[in-house]
Amino acid sequence: GIAVGMATDIPPHNVSEVVEATCHLLRHPEATTADLMEFVPAPDFPTDAEIITPKADLRKLYETGRGSVKLRARYVREDANIVIT
């Protein structure tokens, strides 16, 4: 068969936060990016990594669609193992 490969560069977000921001935008069309970031402060990655990108850089990313999100991994010791997230 024929298969299609697809990829995306859009970081994952919390659906509930996005819905709340969307409802706010529908009620307040003049809302700014800063207003919407009250609902969606940053991407929501499925790991325990900490987002270390400054809020100003995240705002610019949301406004332009360009940029990067920097994460800091976390680790825990589980018996003789080190688990990195």
pLDDT confidence tier of residue 54, bands split at 50, 70 and 90: very high
Cβ 82 vs Cβ 24: under 8 Å: no
Domain that holds residue 36: 15-84
- Say if 57 falls within a structural domain: yes
Question: What would the pLDDT profile of 32-42 be if each residue is shown by its tens digit?
Answer: 999 999 999 99
By CB atoms closer than 10 A (0-12, 13-18, 19+), residue 18 is middle
- Say if 20 falls within a structural domain: yes
Considering its fold, how many domains does the chain have in total? 1
This prediction has a pTM of: 0.80
- Say if 9 falls within a structural domain: no
> Residue 21: pLDDT above 70?
yes
pLDDT confidence tier of residue 1, bands split at 50, 70 and 90: low
- Say if 45 falls within a structural domain: yes
